[in-house]
Chain A
């Protein structure tokens, strides 16, 4: 796979990873559902997916670049993803529903 595609994939992985980690938190789960519900169902699954997303992103960065550079790229994808997730939660929280379809009902 060409380097640019690997990097796009790394960004997507880390973005969804951060979004899943945000969804494990009650306040953000409620934002995404758009109501005040109880506990977060599937919290452990969400946490697992989140960690897997971030780890996958690191692996993809390592595939794309020399390790000394890949580490920098990965840390910055985390920052960019966290910022993006925070802003989506502030302005368009429903966009994250498709990452946890069971939140829809």
Chain B
């Protein structure tokens, strides 16, 4: 019974791990990069390389900018498809809700505006249709930073790790959710399969056969970072629980609407506009009052989020949230004021026990806190996850390639090619994107779209290369694609910081001397990656040469045993 139970767990771990491992690799790697997404943004948009800034004055700086925001073209077109009759012209639409958001790591300020569409929705079950607009500004001057400049960290790598950039019917979220669920299953089944969790807790034998060494590393990175793997897969699911289990809009729709009403009554914050125009009092004065109230509660802090709901309406209100830098939880201690008078409407009460746990779990994953050591530990945990998945692939291939070679099958060759694509190919795509970021003309229209095209094209080329070069795997040898892609990666990882130096004048010695870590850090990590990739390539070359000898020796040994 135990044996068959263990075998069934092994089957589950092996096959789901293989199929969803390709997805999990993307989640773990780009999740790890997202820990430093703001820093990657600085590298990618050199004109934003200055210190993080506090929330600027709303009255003098932000308000005129909010009033000038227009809905984004795409959002406007999508809203048009969903309503009856033509929309008002884009430049005449007036925003109803404003929001500005910053963190202790942001030199730039993201500003968002929501536009109520007056037209009747085509779908009768929808109450309103909205259009959205957003701009990024330099908060010191109010100067706009072009939306053509892609924030590679927070605007591309970060959403890639949870959506795969597949937005059709939210498909990416569902694939990632399934992968996260299977990750949890893989952790449990892995723990059941692994007979010597404690005895081999510290074991890595690099000089054994590749199959053994890969399994050691797989177990080591899986077991020591087990709490990290578990909590990140789990909290990732918690964050998107509303997508995976949309009970509020389906099963419990009536209760959900009643709750909304109750919340509105309790909080005194109007859900709907009154339809009567009203002026906006000084928001800066409200910010001062909010900061005074936080300080009085013993938690002084900066403003993280500043929003106006129903702007210009008698029901309008201003919400001020604290930047959560010293806690894991994402509560924000919101304070709300009547927009027309500045009168205090509500201070958010402390979270309930369940709410507090939820805030802690999501805060743990979203990490708005100020804690550089923990950030680096998260990168370590994420990369340990990548190593765990990659060594899982290698073990899968190593275990089977001799049998497959004997049987003459080529399936293993494609598993190996896919593994190369997801490991070195993904790294190549990332580094190529950074290189493209420094090479594309600065004023190129839709520059960010070109960067994304380069990323996907590089990844696709890496896939073609891996498929083309993987034939030796079917003969139980190592695919030269691994080595060649390692060399390509090393070259790209040297090229990126070099181009950064040439195009911006910021070389590592300068940025380190100035203590400008966002750029110095990424440059150093790229150089370290180049060194590791070159070392890996050299070792692969040695192994490629020694393998035929080793397998001949193994064959000889086997013949001796058989005789």
What residues of chain A have their CB less than 8 Å away from a CB belonging to chain B?
Answer: 7, 11, 18, 22, 25, 27-28, 65-66, 68-69, 72-73, 75-80, 82-83, 85-87, 89-91
Indicate if the CB atoms of A79 and B225 lie closer than 8 Å: yes
Indicate if the CB atoms of B224 and A79 lie closer than 8 Å: yes
Apart from A27-B203, A72-B328, A83-B380, 7 more pairs, CB < 8 Å: A69-B327, A72-B364, A76-B377, A77-B377, A82-B202, A86-B204, A89-B202
Between A and B, how many residue pairs show CB distances below 8 Å?
73
Indicate if the CB atoms of B371 and A69 lie closer than 8 Å: yes
Q: Is B369 engaged at the interface, CB distance under 8 Å to the other chain?
A: yes
Interface SS of chain A: helix, strand, loop or mixed?
helix
Q: Is B309 engaged at the interface, CB distance under 8 Å to the other chain?
A: no
Indicate if the CB atoms of B374 and A79 lie closer than 8 Å: no
Please list 12 pairs of residues, one from A and one from B, whose beta carbons are closer than 8 Å in the complex, sorted by A's number.
A22-B202, A66-B328, A68-B329, A69-B369, A69-B371, A73-B373, A75-B227, A79-B224, A79-B377, A80-B380, A85-B202, A89-B203
Q: B526-560 CB contact bits vs A (8 Å, 1 = yes)?
A: 00000000000000000000000000000000000
For the complex, count residues of B whose C-beta is within 8 A of A: 28
Nearest residue, chain A, Cβ from B199: A25
Q: How far is the CA of A11 from the CA of B374 in the complex (A)?
A: 12
Indicate if the CB atoms of A83 and B206 lie closer than 8 Å: no
Indicate if the CB atoms of B228 and A75 lie closer than 8 Å: yes
Nearest residue, chain A, Cβ from B372: A4
Kindly list chain B residues whose C-beta atoms are within 8 Å of the C-beta of A89: 202-204
Indicate if the CB atoms of A73 and B204 lie closer than 8 Å: no
Kindly list chain A residues whose C-beta atoms are within 8 Å of the C-beta of B153: none
Q: How far is the CA of A86 from the CA of B364 in the complex (A)?
A: 27
Indicate if the CB atoms of A82 and B224 lie closer than 8 Å: yes
- Known A69-B328, A73-B373, A86-B220; judge A79-B202 contact (CB<8 A): no
Q: Is B378 engaged at the interface, CB distance under 8 Å to the other chain?
A: yes
Kindly list chain B residues whose C-beta atoms are within 8 Å of the C-beta of A68: 327-329, 360
Kindly list chain B residues whose C-beta atoms are within 8 Å of the C-beta of A22: 201-202
Indicate if the CB atoms of A65 and B371 lie closer than 8 Å: yes
CB distance from A79 to the nearest CB of B (A): 5
CB distance from A52 to the nearest CB of B (A): 18
Indicate if the CB atoms of B384 and A83 lie closer than 8 Å: yes
Indicate if the CB atoms of B201 and A72 lie closer than 8 Å: no
Kindly list chain B residues whose C-beta atoms are within 8 Å of the C-beta of A90: 204-206
- Known A22-B202, A73-B371; judge A79-B328 contact (CB<8 A): no
CB distance from A42 to the nearest CB of B (A): 18
Q: Is B139 engaged at the interface, CB distance under 8 Å to the other chain?
A: no
Q: How far is the CA of A10 from the CA of B451 in the complex (A)?
A: 42
Kindly list chain A residues whose C-beta atoms are within 8 Å of the C-beta of B377: 73, 76-77, 79-80
Nearest residue, chain A, Cβ from B359: A68
Q: How far is the CA of A68 from the CA of B324 in the complex (A)?
A: 13
CB distance from A86 to the nearest CB of B (A): 4
5 interchain residue pairs of minimum CB distance: A76-B377, A82-B224, A86-B202, A79-B225, A22-B202
Nearest residue, chain B, Cβ from A4: B373
Indicate if the CB atoms of A83 and B329 lie closer than 8 Å: no
Q: Which of B193-232 contact A (CB under 8 A)?
A: 199, 201-206, 220-221, 224-225, 227-228
Nearest residue, chain A, Cβ from B369: A69
Indicate if the CB atoms of A72 and B326 lie closer than 8 Å: no
Q: Is B381 engaged at the interface, CB distance under 8 Å to the other chain?
A: yes
Kindly list chain B residues whose C-beta atoms are within 8 Å of the C-beta of A80: 377, 380
Q: How far is the CA of A91 from the CA of B329 in the complex (A)?
A: 40
Q: How far is the CA of A65 from the CA of B369 in the complex (A)?
A: 11
Indicate if the CB atoms of A76 and B202 lie closer than 8 Å: no
Kindly list chain B residues whose C-beta atoms are within 8 Å of the C-beta of A69: 327-328, 369, 371, 374
Q: How far is the CA of A22 from the CA of B121 in the complex (A)?
A: 66
Kindly list chain A residues whose C-beta atoms are within 8 Å of the C-beta of B224: 78-79, 82-83, 86
Nearest residue, chain A, Cβ from B201: A82
CB distance from A3 to the nearest CB of B (A): 9
CB distance from A20 to the nearest CB of B (A): 12
Kindly list chain A residues whose C-beta atoms are within 8 Å of the C-beta of B202: 18, 22, 25, 28, 82, 85-86, 89
CB distance from A89 to the nearest CB of B (A): 6
CB distance from B440 to the nearest CB of A (A): 37
Q: How far is the CA of A82 from the CA of B227 in the complex (A)?
A: 13
Q: How far is the CA of A78 from the CA of B380 in the complex (A)?
A: 12
Indicate if the CB atoms of A91 and B203 lie closer than 8 Å: no
Q: Which of B355-389 contact A (CB under 8 A)?
A: 360, 364, 369, 371, 373-374, 377-378, 380-381, 384
Kindly list chain A residues whose C-beta atoms are within 8 Å of the C-beta of B225: 79, 83
Kindly list chain B residues whose C-beta atoms are within 8 Å of the C-beta of A65: 371
Indicate if the CB atoms of A73 and B374 lie closer than 8 Å: yes
Kindly list chain A residues whose C-beta atoms are within 8 Å of the C-beta of B326: 66
Kindly list chain A residues whose C-beta atoms are within 8 Å of the C-beta of B205: 90
Nearest residue, chain B, Cβ from A76: B377
Q: How far is the CA of A69 from the CA of B327 in the complex (A)?
A: 7
- Known A25-B202, A90-B204, A91-B206; judge A76-B381 contact (CB<8 A): yes
Q: How far is the CA of A25 from the CA of B225 in the complex (A)?
A: 21
Indicate if the CB atoms of A76 and B221 lie closer than 8 Å: no
Nearest residue, chain A, Cβ from B205: A90
Nearest residue, chain A, Cβ from B225: A79
Interface centre among A28, A78, A83, A91 (most CB of B within 10 A): A83
Kindly list chain A residues whose C-beta atoms are within 8 Å of the C-beta of B369: 69
Indicate if the CB atoms of A76 and B206 lie closer than 8 Å: no
Nearest residue, chain B, Cβ from A67: B328
Kindly list chain B residues whose C-beta atoms are within 8 Å of the C-beta of A76: 228, 374, 377-378, 380-381
Indicate if the CB atoms of A7 and B380 lie closer than 8 Å: no
Q: How far is the CA of A77 from the CA of B380 in the complex (A)?
A: 10
Q: Which of B295-339 contact A (CB under 8 A)?
A: 326-329
Q: How far is the CA of A11 from the CA of B369 in the complex (A)?
A: 20
CB distance from A29 to the nearest CB of B (A): 11
Kindly list chain A residues whose C-beta atoms are within 8 Å of the C-beta of B199: 25
Nearest residue, chain A, Cβ from B387: A83
